[in-house]
Structure formats: structure tokens, C-alpha cells
Structure 1
Amino acid sequence: MDHFLYRNGTLYAEDVALTDIAAQVGTPFYCYSTATFTRHFRLFDEALDGMDHLVCYAMKANSNQAILSLMASLGAGVDVVSGGEYARAKAAGFDGDKIVFSGVGKTREEMRAALTGGIRQFNLESEPEMLVLNEVALELGTVAPVTVRVNPDVDAKTHEKIATGKSENKFGIPIARAREVYAHIATLPGLRVVGIDVHIGSQLTDLEPFRLAYRKVAELTETLRADGHDIIRLDLGGGLGIPYARGNEAPPLPVEYGAMVKEELSHLGCEIEIEPGRLIAGNSGILVSEVIYVKSGEGRDFLIIDAAMNDLVRPSMYGAHHDIVPVVEAEPGAEQQPYDIVGPVCESGDTFAKQRNMTKVAAGDLVAFRSAGAYGAVMASEYNTRPLIPEVLVHEDQFAVIRSRPSFDEIINRDTIPTWI
């Protein structure tokens, strides 16, 4: 469920008409719903009621400071994967004991920043990283709390570019080597084991891969405890999918996921951490764009809009589907026709949909991309010197621009011309 609904033929975000935002902000722009973000976080939090747990929002899905501040105000933890994301988390008000640091390539500088500023845990991804973190912690005279990310070799049955739990993926250590690695950590005075980490992929639409991975983690927990390790926390990652296409079979609900977690892991008495990003942010945002031209081609019509692949790269990068709807609803029974929906970037890859059936639209009409709140704005670029587009946050009948569109001068003036030119 989201809070983007038609009223009297016009698409609204909560109690604000998207046409009103477009008139004031210009297009294209991202629009987020406070109520939807809040609802989705609480669904996860409530799904784990009865277990000691922390829902750590995976900020890589959407890292705007307003969104992060909202998450912090709701009591969320946060999962970061870079020094920049760590700085964002601190600036948004997250306490260090609610920040989890993931990622395969943590640098010494990032480790120092987190150890100095406060950290809940580092999710270690390799033995070289383990040794470096030990050195950094000893240099600072402290001890780093750690989990090890184990790779359970479970096929998440998701897109190959967002699968992370198979043996050929770059993430974690093979689960078969976990005892050896944990034994090594026990000899390092700068590290303290607090748990186990696992994350098998993104946009999962079936609970069975989670179940298989978590059973392996449960077995490993008991083995490591028998070896003398204090396993008090299980970080289960994120990955639960969202319905990008209306009418398709819906992925499992958070409450169903929570029930499965309790069934598989509650007997261990561990604190549970989960790191949802897409399911919290995805349907909490849309992208609004204006039609520039309707162009007749050889056997097809092109809908050329003012958003492009640099604004929303998921269709070009992953072949991802987003429902695209008119902001002003067509009359019931209005004729539909197929369009190739494309942007103005000078690449054929700048295509959002091919032969997508829509009611007829004209230049100047607004269209909205649903389910664009996750991995939209955060993956945007200024390719073709196209400014990053505004982000707008709606709360009931109010809206605020939470990231402004830069001017061409601001973009150009970031560059420096050497004196020898």
C-alpha cells in the first residue's frame, strides 16, 4: 500500500496534488510520502514483535537527509556501506550504537571514522579486512565489535546483478570456513565477536531462500557457541521485494517474513537485526515527468519525456519495470495505445519501456513512475550535464523540497581549469 491515489481524476501524494507540486517545482522531480515511509518501517518493526530486534534502514536505497531524519525519529537503526553514508547517518541524528557498517571494501579511514564516532558493529567481509580493522582498533586503543558475513551459497532467484548469497558472488566468506575465521578473530585483541551476518540478495519474492539461509545460520550459531564464541546477535540483511508491476503476484508481506524468522531463529535467543531498504523506500516514492513530444516512428510511437536514464537508471541497468501512469487520469474506457517511453539522453539505452500500453497523452501532460523511491535518486547522475532533479517530501497537505535542482552555473563552476590552459 502507498499514499499515491487519484482524487477527482488527479494523482495525489497524500493530500497534495502532483500537478500543484509540478507547477511550483518544475519537472522532472521525485516525490516521497512521509506516511508511506512511516507505515512501511512500522510493518517491519511490528512483524518482529516478541523478539529482541532492531530494524536497520538500508540507506543505500534512499539517503536523503530528510528521509534519514524521519527514520531516526521512528527509532530505526541504519545500515551504511561507505564513509559518506556513515557521515550522513551521524548528521541525521543516528547514535553510533544504531549504525551497522557493511560493505566489502571498507578503508582504514572509514574504519577510523566509525570507531571514533561510534558504531554498533562492523560486518566483516574478508580476512584481509579483519586484519586491517584489528590494526586500526589497536592504534586507537579500542575494540571493534564485529560479525562475519557468511555466504551460505543460497540462490535468491533474483536478478544476477543484485544476488549476493551465491558462492560466486563477491560478498562474505564461505560458510564452510566460518569456524576457522571466527577462531582467528578470537586471537585478535582489537576485535570482539558479537554475532553473525548474512545477506543473500535484493528483490526476493519468495521466503524459501531466506528460510534456507537462516537454517544454515542457526546451525552455525550453535556450532560457534560450542566453540566458545559469544553469538548474541544475528544480522539477517534485507532483500524482501516489492510489487513493481500492478496486478502481478505480490511478494511476501513483512508479517509473513517476521513469522518465518521467529519460526527458524527464536529458539536461539539472539537479538535480530534486519536491513530493509527497498521495501521501506520503494513504494514510498514516485518520479514525475512531463511529456515533451509524441513522435511517430516506423511502426511505433515514442513518448519522449523530460526524465532520462540519468534520473532513473534502473530500467537501463537492470531492465527493471516501473508502472507509468498519467497524473491526470483518463476518462473510463478511454482508448489505449502502445508507446516506447524514452528520455532525451543521446543513447538508445535511455528507454524506460517498450510498447507499453497507455491512454493517449500529449505534449505537456504529466506522467508518474510508481515505485521509484528506492535506488532512484541515489543512483542518479548529471550525465549530459543534466541537473540532478529535485526531491520533494509530502506530509499530509504540506510539501517541502528536500533537495533542490542545481543551476547550470553551479554544475559548471565545480570544475577547475588549470592555469596552463
Structure 2
Amino acid sequence: MTLYCEELALSGLAEQFGTPLYVYSQQALTDAYRAYTDAFGSDTLLCYAVKANGNLSILRHFASLGSGFDIVSGGELERVLAAGGDAGKTIFSGVGKSEAEIEYALEAGIKCFNVESLPELDRINSIAARLGRRAPISLRINPDVDAQTHPYISTGLKANKFGIAMDDAEQAYRYAAGLPHLHIRGIDCHIGSQLTQSEPLIEACERLLALIDRLSEQGIALEHLDLGGGIGIVYQNETTLDLAAYADTVKRLLGGRSLKLILEPGRSLVGNAGVLLTRVEFVKSNGDKQFVIVDAAMNDLMRPALYQAYHHIENAEAVDTSPFTADIVGPVCETGDFFARDREIAAQAGDLLVIRSAGAYAASMGSNYNARLKPAEVLVNGREAKLVRRRETQQQLMQNELDCL
């Protein structure tokens, strides 16, 4: 048994580029994107959520497919533009946009700000006035829908920091309509991430459409409805929602309204398009407890430590070792540095392991804790492997400090 990414053996990629190593499948990215366009149609604007994985080559590939982008920082906008993305198809979300970020986005010509508070409305209006512009905005409304997901990635409840409360929404729109340098474009919500049932998404859509109708009666006509992202993937044995059925329900609910539909998928486009390759350094016993110590660590993939998330782990090639129960851990000096606990694995020193479902919120959340270098990243297209991020060097890691000694 040898595991492949498209037509290339993962073991060969590890030999060529070293480990830890992120490997992405271009075909998997394309297939995931087309699943959305097939379900929702070409009239729906898909804005890929850059926070899931901001590698420039991945952004460029999605731009080539016609994707827009959902960003949450000025840095992400700079990445989109560097990759050839269209600012006019880019939505700027996030609760704490700085003055510099707002000015940068306005000058770049972004499609819309997703505004999350009244003070933010005032800030955008003031900056637009100074620049002699009208800023395109939508309001992110918190529909108070339980996404039934991990509490750290649930964003649609009253207790969460995101959005404007549904009870305050009409007043907020009236306030925005009175600000002369704002152009109200639409409405937005995002109730959470890794959603595996369509019911919360549909409930949020119904609540927003009722609000849209009430606003229309008050003379505030909206151009688009942004239902956010959050659709989950299979990490272990989850039953994911039927994308086509969800699309059909949304289309039915929209009825005859002349609203442009926008979606912000992230994890569902990239999550299962990537793996993390890691080499076993040691197998260690502490009494009855076994540990498989690998060269990747929580700084490379922090989802297990942060969310207690499950990632399937297996050998890249067939081995003669009998399976045993062990914690699969990294070398970082933290007890929380683990990828799996009490997992069945057949591994010995030198073996190559594959950590699945590592395309989203993996490399993008990486750090240099313990002065560790961020891994290289490779994009595979058929029989071609393209290095899309070089492995960091210690010189690069220390440069901003060496200059200050």
C-alpha cells in the first residue's frame, strides 16, 4: 500500500521536499469549487474564505476558476491582489477593521464591507468622506441560530462577538441609510464553521429574508444576500449536508426576490484537499503508555490542541510493524502538543505518516513556537509537484530581530 496525491506517491514528495510537508491536490480544489457552482449555479458569487488557507498559489487557482474572496484583514486583501484576485469580487469581513485597512480596501475597490457594529459604520463613513467616496457596505446580522458546532467556531449566537443582533438590525439599517458616504448593498450572516446539518443554515436564511422584506417596506432595498460559509467536511465519520438539496432550498426561499446570492466557503473547498506529511523520530514507552514522536508539531497543525479536533493518521506506505495504541505527539515542549490520543497506529522510527484533512486552518494557523520553522508546501497537479511555499530558514526567522541587536 502506497498513498498518493493525484499521480505522485506521498513518500516521493517527502523525499524530495523534506518533512514536515503540506501537500495539496489541485484537482481536489477544483472539484470542491465546482460542486458549489453545480449546486448553486453560475449566478451565485462564491467568495473563498482566505483565512482557511491563504497560500498565494491556492488563491491564484481559485481566482482562475472565477472565485471571489472573503477576507478578514488588510493582509489577506494584499495576498488576494498579489495572487491576481479581483478586489471587485472581494468581501471584507471581521469585527475590528482598522482605519488603515478600511482606507486600503476602499482605494483597492473592494465589493463590500461586511459591517459588524455601529461604530464601524461611523468609521467607514468618516474615511469614505475624507476620500471623497461612498463606501459599499452590508450589515452582518446575528440571527441567533445555534450552529450546533464546537463553541470556538460558533458565531451566530447572542453570546458571540460577531455581528449585529437581529433585534437591533432594522434600527442599524436606518442609521446606515442616514450616513451620506455609505452605499447599502446587502445583508450578511455567518453562523459558524464545520456545520454538518442544513437546518441551522436554512433557519438563518429564513430569518434574514423576513428582515429583508421588512426593510424593503421601509424603503431600504438590498441588492444581495450573503449567507456566509461554514459547511463542514468529513474528518472522521461525520455525515455532511447535501449541498444540492441545500441549494434547492435556498433558491426556493429566495422566490421572486431580485437578490444576488453570495456564499463564503472556506473549509469545504480546501480542507480535504490537503495532507500534512510527518516523519517518526522515536517510539517511546512510559510504562504502559506509548508515544509516537513525529517531526511535525502543534505549531504546524494546532487544531487538535485548540479544538480537540480529530484528524485521521495513517502510514504513507505498508509496514511490517504490528499496530499498537499510542499518543501521536510532536517535539514541542507542551503537553498539549499532540495530534492524536490513544490511536491505533503501526509505526516505528523513520516511518512516514500522513495526517489527513489538513488543507484548512492548518498551515494558515501555523506559528514559530519553540523557534520552529514553518513547513514547505507543495501543490500537485497530476504528475507535477510545484513548490508553493519554501521551508523557512532560521535566518529568515531571526532577521527582524538581528537587525535590532
Q: Output the TM-score relative to the length of structure 1.
A: 0.94
Query: Cα 1:327–1:238, aligned 2, differ >3 Å: closer, same or farther?
Result: same
SS at match of 1:415: helix
Cα shift readout 1:360-391 (whole Å, capped 9, x = no counterpart): 21110000010000000010011111100001
Match of 2:101 in 1: 110
CA distance in 2, matches of 1:134, 1:229: 18
Q: Deviations over 1:335-373 (max 9, x none)?
A: 422111000001100011111012x21110000010000
Do structure 1's residue 75 and structure 2's residue 66 form an aligned pair? yes
Which residue identity lines up with residue 11 of structure 1 in the other structure?
L
- 2:163 matched to 1:153? no
- Tell whether the 8 Å contact from 2:323 to 2:347 is kept in structure 1 after alignment: no
Alpha-carbon separation, structure 1, partners of 2:360 and 2:270: 5
After TM superposition, give the deviation of residue 57 of structure 1 in Å.
Answer: 0.3
Quick check: 296-305 or 71-80, which moved more? Answer: 296-305
Query: CA offsets, 1:22-52, max 9 Å, x none?
Result: 11111011000000001001101111127x3
2:126 partner letter:
E
Residue 35 of structure 2 is aligned with which of 40, 43, 52? 43
SS of match in other structure, 1:268: coil
**Which residue number in structure 2 is paired with residue 15 of structure 1?**
7
Instruction: Say whether the 8 Å CA contact 1:11–1:329 is kept in structure 2.
Output: no
- Partners of 1:414 and 1:21 in 2: how far apart? 31
1:301 Cα deviation after fit: 1.1
CA-to-aligned-CA distance 1:114-173 (integer Å, 9 cap, x gap): 111111000000000000000000111111111100001110010000000000100011
- 1:375 is aligned to 361
SS of the residue aligned with 1:348? coil
List gaps (5 residues or longer) in structure 1: 1-8
1:409 to 380, 395, 401: 395
Match of 1:308 among 280, 284, 297: 297
CA distance in 2, matches of 1:113, 1:417: 28
Is residue 279 of structure 1 aligned with residue 271 of structure 2? no
**2:234 maps to which residue?**
243
Counterpart selection for 1:387 from 373, 376, 386 = 373
Separation of aligned partners in 2, 1:287 and 1:47: 30
Instruction: Measure how far apart 1:330 and its partner are.
Output: 4.7
Q: Distance in 2 between matches of 1:160 and 1:415?
A: 37
Distance verdict in 2 for CA 1:276–1:338, change over 3 Å: same
The answer to whether the Cα contact below 8 Å between 1:63 and 1:378 also exists between their aligned partners in 2 is yes
One-letter amino acid of the structure 2 residue matched with residue 21 of structure 1: L
- Is the Cα contact below 8 Å between 2:33 and 2:269 reproduced in 1? yes
Q: Does the 8 Å CA contact 1:95/1:118 hold for their aligned counterparts?
A: no
Q: Which moved more, 1:289-298 or 1:124-133?
A: 289-298
Structure 2 spans left out of the alignment, 5+ residues = none
The alignment status of 1:342 with 2:333, answered yes or no, reads no
State which of 338, 350, 372 in structure 2 corresponds to 1:351. 338
Mapping for residues 18-417 of structure 1, pairs under 5 Å = 18-49=10-41, 52-245=43-236, 248-330=237-319, 335-358=322-345, 360-416=346-402
Deviation, 1:314, is 0.4
| Structure 1 Cα separation of the partners of residues 404 and 365 of structure 2 | 30
Q: Distance in 2 between matches of 1:26 and 1:416?
A: 27
Q: What is the percent sequence identity of the aligned residues? A: 45
Offset at residue 269 of structure 1 (A): 2.6
State the SS of the aligned residue for 2:281. strand
User: Any conservation in 2 of the 1:218–1:268 contact (CA below 8 Å)?
Assistant: no
- Once residues 263 and 162 of structure 1 are traced to their aligned partners in structure 2, the CA distance between those partners, rounded to angstroms, is 28
Q: Distance in 1 between matches of 2:233 and 2:372?
A: 29
Distance 1:410 1:168 in 2: 41
Partner amino acid, structure 1, of 2:386: A
CA distance in 2, matches of 1:304, 1:105: 39
Judge conservation of contact 1:96–1:119 (CA < 8 Å) in 2. yes
Q: State the alpha-carbon separation in 1 of the partners of residues 174 and 22 from structure 2.
A: 48
Matched to 1:363, the amino acid is A
Greater mean alpha carbon deviation, residues 87-96 or residues 103-112: 87-96
* Secondary structure of the corresponding residue to residue 400 of structure 2: coil
Q: Deviations over 1:45-98 (max 9, x none)?
A: 111127x31011001000000000000000001000000001111111122210
CA RMSD of aligned residues (A): 1.3
How far apart, in 2, do the equivalents of 1:411 and 1:95 lie?
Answer: 31
Quick one: distance in 2 between partners of 1:42 and 1:138? 40
Alignment size in residue pairs: 405
TM superposition shift of 1:410: 2.3
